[in-house]
Amino acid sequence: MSATVLEPIGIGCFVLVGILLFVAWDRHKDNASKTEAVNKMMRSSPLGGMMKEMRGAAQLESGIPTATKYSLFFAVLSWIGGVGCMVMAAKKGSGRTPPEIPRTP
């Protein structure tokens, strides 16, 4: 592949990394807010004490959602691909010749 093809692919990989990191952050934030809402409900509910006894824990802890794990995994792969494309494009050169400036005598 030529450098003119590799550069846009590398830039596309970096854009994909940004999107995937946003998805991972959003899913993690959503899971944490839902867990906090359940904990708040448990504290205010009259049945909260009974549910604590059944669970054996005082509060729920938010974990890492599967969507976050996959998003981070594919973000790392896309970042590696983007770096690889940019490095290969730099090694091959741009393939463009600079425009010739006409000289007048």
Digit-by-digit pLDDT tens for the chain (105 residues) are 788 888 999 999 999 999 999 999 999 999 999 988 888 877 776 665 666 666 666 677 778 889 999 999 999 999 999 999 999 988 887 555 666 777 776
**Taking a C-beta distance cutoff of 8 angstroms, is the pair 68, 24 a contact?**
yes
In order, the DSSP letters of 23-86 are HHHHHHHHHHHHHHHHHHHHHHSTTHHHHHHHHTSSS------HHHHHHHHHHHHHHHHHHHHH
- 20's CB contacts (< 8 A; 6+ apart) are 71, 72, 74, 75, 78
Residue 47 burial (CB count, 10 A): 10
Tell me which amino acid residue 104 is: T
